[in-house]
């Protein structure tokens, strides 16, 4: 082995076994010296192994560099692949989205397909229906065609018949024409004969004309004699006319006297009214209403001349009785006409230029509205309002040759001390001002709507509007009881046709609010406020009349809107009539007594002579004459 170069060819494994063998052998010899050839061999083997290791190491290094370059190549490839992979991911996402959209569209298309299939089914049905209809229509058409043909056949038959008839008629006409031709010839011959006759008559007429001319000449002569007779007649008529003129003058004088007598009559009439007192109080007892106990009444006795005896249901004998006296007391049997009969003269006074005020006073439910307006619009039921207006227009019509009258109407209510126009469309907004001294046209409420009227029915129409606008509230006594004063004012302006002097009068028709005391109506809140306003204004009315009676220098008109509005119709210048309404039932005893006490205070008053609002020059003279008559 040491001489050959066979080390090159030996495998590394065998070299290592050689070394191991040498080492093992040397160990066995135990510290025996290693011969030179063995050391040499070992050195050679080790060198060989070193060489091989070097070669291997070199090889491995080369391999490493190759691997590194490959690795780099692979890394770059991997990067490129990653980029590619990322790109593909995005594309994938887009494709997924696209796929989603496509899916949705597909489902929509499927739905549409379903719908269209349904439509197709429906259309097929409709088509079947239409085909059925077409079939039925075809049948109908065939029937119609058949009918039409039949009719056509009938028409043809008829036209043939008509043609035949026409042919016969044409023949008849031809015959007629022939006959009429013959007649024309006959007429021509008769005409010739007649013209000969006329010629003869003309000759006769000429002769007659000649004789007539002679007759006219005679007539001319006689007309001349008639003319002279006419002249004589005219002279006679002239004399008679002048006689008539003097007679007429006498008549005119008589008419003048009539005017004077009429004026005197008015004065006398007013005098009579004055003697009866310028404030009159009539009491009216309301009948029991259906369902009320007629046995228990507080009315004991009603006298002929206005006595009224009231008995207290809780006290027996004379202690429980109280007597009142008024101008008149109407029992529960009195009719609407009876109640009005004594009011009538006051209506004449209005036309004579006086202010008149008619009130209805009493607790709610005592018949105020019944007396003033009546329960219905039938003539029998008419209340004082309607009857007064009717009389007013009747009298003004009778006087039309002497006076020309203009009549106007206002209607207001006083609610919670506010004056409201009942004839205005805007009742709620409009609150009216009151003029303390009336305007030249006689209006105390110049802003309230004033409607000219020509007849009772005009006024009734206006009153209907006014009543609808009236404020009504509820109380324990009467659900629809009215809690406001309503005032209908009729203004009358009369012009004396002869002298031109003007007189003004006005008539107030007042339906007062219920006079009951607050406790009685169990009111609270708004109702209590209403009741307090009503109590205040009614006592102000009593105070005004009382002050006038006492001839006090100060009359408290300003204490309430009611007395302010009626100022010119309360007191010396006016006539006042109050209907005091009472209930007959025992429960109303205390209200009845307080109502009657109020009325007693009012009726015991002498308000002095009324003065007419005449502005004519003869007013002084009239007053003097009245004094004489007194």
Positions in the binding site for Mg ion (CB under 5 A): 368-369, 482
Closer residue to ligand ADP, CB minimum distance, 518 or 623: 518
Give yes or no for residue 581 binding ligand ADP (CB under 6 A). yes
Q: Shortest CA distance to 596 belongs to which of 324, 351, 350?
A: 324
From the list ligand ADP, Mg ion, none, pick the one residue 374 interacts with, judged by a Cβ distance below 5 to 8 Å according to partner type.
none
Closer residue to Mg ion, CB minimum distance, 35 or 375: 375
Helix-strand-coil percent breakdown of the chain, rounded to 5?
60, 15, 25
**78-101: b (≥16 Cβ within 10 Å) or e:** eeeeeeeeeeeeeeeeeeeeeeee
Distance CA 438, CA 441 (A): 8
Q: What tokens does 528 get?
A: 């209590």
Please give the DSSP secondary-structure letter assigned to residue 548: H
Which 513-532 positions form the footprint of ligand ADP (CB under 6 A)?
514
Q: What tokens does 609 get?
A: 């002579």
Closer residue to Mg ion, CB minimum distance, 407 or 562: 562
Burial class (CB in 10 A: 0-12, 13-18, 19+), 416: middle
100 marked ligand binding residue:
no
**At closest approach, how far in Å is the CB of 583 from ligand ADP?**
9
12 marked ligand binding residue:
no
- Per CB under 6 A, the list member of 287, 306, 320, 616 interacting with ligand ADP is 287
Give yes or no for residue 476 binding ligand ADP (CB under 6 A). no
From the list ligand ADP, Mg ion, none, pick the one residue 483 interacts with, judged by a Cβ distance below 5 to 8 Å according to partner type.
none
Q: What tokens does 554 get?
A: 């100060």
- Per CB under 6 A, the list member of 298, 438, 481, 560 interacting with ligand ADP is 481
Distance CA 470, CA 427 (A): 9
- Per CB under 6 A, the list member of 364, 484, 563, 573 interacting with ligand ADP is 364
Contact 492, 506 (CB under 8 A): yes
Q: Mind giving me the DSSP string for 315-363?
A: S-TGGGEEEEE-SEEE-TT--HHHHHHTTHHHHHHHHTT-EEEEEEE-S
Give yes or no for residue 362 binding ligand ADP (CB under 6 A). yes
Contact 282, 328 (CB under 8 A): yes
Q: Please identify, among the stretches 17-25, 284-292, 435-443, 521-529, the one whose residues bind ligand ADP according to the rule CB under 6 A.
A: 284-292
Rg (CA), the chain: 67
365 marked ligand binding residue:
yes
Give yes or no for residue 366 binding ligand ADP (CB under 6 A). yes
Closer residue to Mg ion, CB minimum distance, 369 or 576: 369
- Per CB under 6 A, the list member of 267, 286, 504, 533 interacting with ligand ADP is 286
Number of residues that bind ligand ADP (CB under 6 A): 16
Q: Which residue is nearest to Mg ion (CB)?
A: 369
**At closest approach, how far in Å is the CB of 481 from ligand ADP?**
6
Binding residues: 362-369
| Chain residues in the site for ligand ADP (CB under 6 A) | 286-287, 289, 362, 364-370, 375, 478, 481, 514, 581
Binding residues for ATP: 362-369
């Amino acid at each position: 082995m040491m001489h050959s170069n066979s080390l090159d060819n030996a495998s590394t494994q065998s070299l290592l076994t050689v070394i191991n063998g040498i080492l093992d052998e040397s160990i066995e010899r135990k510290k025996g010296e290693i011969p030179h050839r063995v050391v040499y061999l070992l050195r050679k083997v080790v060198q060989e192994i070193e060489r091989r290791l070097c070669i291997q190491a070199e090889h491995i290094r080369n391999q490493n560099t190759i691997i590194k370059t490959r690795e780099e190549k692979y890394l770059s490839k991997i990067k490129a692949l990653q980029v590619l992979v990322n790109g593909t991911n995005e594309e994938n996402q887009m494709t997924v989205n696209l796929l989603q959209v496509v899916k949705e569209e597909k489902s929509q298309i499927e739905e549409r397909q379903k719908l269209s299939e349904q439509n197709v089914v429906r259309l097929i049905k409709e088509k079947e229906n239409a085909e059925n209809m077409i079939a039925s229509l075809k049948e109908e058409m065939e029937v119609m065609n058949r009918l039409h043909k039949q009719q056509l056949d009938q028409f043809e038959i008829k036209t043939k018949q008509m043609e035949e008839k026409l042919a016969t008629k044409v023949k008849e006409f031809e015959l007629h024409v022939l006959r009429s031709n013959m007649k024309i010839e006959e007429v021509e011959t008769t005409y010739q004969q007649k013209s000969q006759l006329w010629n003869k008559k003309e000759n006769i007429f000429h002769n007659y004309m000649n004789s007539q001319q002679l007759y006219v000449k005679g007539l001319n002569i006689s007309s001349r004699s008639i003319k002279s007779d006419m002249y004589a007649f005219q002279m006679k008529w002239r004399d008679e006319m002048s006689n008539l003129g003097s007679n007429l003058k006498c008549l005119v004088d008589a008419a003048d006297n009539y005017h004077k007598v009429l004026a005197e009559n008015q004065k006398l009439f007013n005098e009579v009214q004055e003697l009866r007192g310028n404030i009159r109080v009539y009491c009216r007892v309301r009948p029991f209403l259906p369902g009320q106990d007629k046995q228990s009444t507080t009315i004991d006795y009603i006298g002929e001349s206005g006595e009224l005896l009231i008995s207290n249901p809780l006290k027996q004998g004379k202690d429980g009785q109280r007597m009142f006296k008024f101008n008149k007391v109407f029992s529960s049997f009195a009719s609407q006409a009876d109640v009005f009969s004594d009011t009538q003269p006051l209506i004449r006074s209005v036309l004579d230029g006086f202010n008149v005020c008619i009130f209805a006073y009493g607790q709610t439910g005592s018949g105020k509205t019944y007396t003033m307006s009546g329960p219905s619009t039938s003539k029998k039921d008419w209340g004082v309002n309607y009857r007064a207006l009717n009389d007013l227009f009747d009298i003004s019509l009778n006087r039309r040759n002497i006076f020309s009258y203009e009549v106007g109407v206002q209607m207001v209510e006083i609610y919670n001390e506010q004056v409201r126009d009942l004839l205005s469309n805007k009742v709620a907004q409009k609150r009216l001002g009151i003029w303390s001294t009336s305007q030249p046209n006689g209006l105390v409420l110049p802003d309230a709507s004033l409607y000219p009227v020509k007849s009772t029915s005009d006024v009734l129409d206006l009153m209907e509007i006014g009543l609808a606008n009236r404020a009504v509230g509820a109380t324990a006594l009467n659900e629809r009881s009215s809690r406001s004063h309503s005032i209908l004012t009729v203004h009358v302006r009369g012009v004396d046709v002869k002298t031109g002097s003007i007189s003004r009068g006005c008539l107030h028709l007042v339906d007062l609010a219920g006079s009951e005391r607050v406790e009685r109506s169990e009111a609270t809140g708004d109702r209590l406020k209403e009741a307090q306003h009503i109590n205040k204004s009614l006592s102000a009315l009593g105070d005004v009349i009382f002050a006038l009676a006492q001839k006090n220098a100060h009359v408290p008109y300003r204490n309430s809107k009611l007395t302010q509005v009626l100022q010119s119709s309360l007191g010396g210048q006016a006539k006042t009539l109050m209907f005091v309404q009472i209930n007959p039932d025992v429960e109303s005893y205390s209200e009845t007594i307080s109502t009657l006490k109020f009325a007693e205070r009012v009726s015991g008053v002498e308000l002095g002579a009324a003065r007419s609002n005449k502005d004519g020059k003869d007013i002084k003279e009239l007053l003097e004459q009245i004094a004489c008559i007194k």
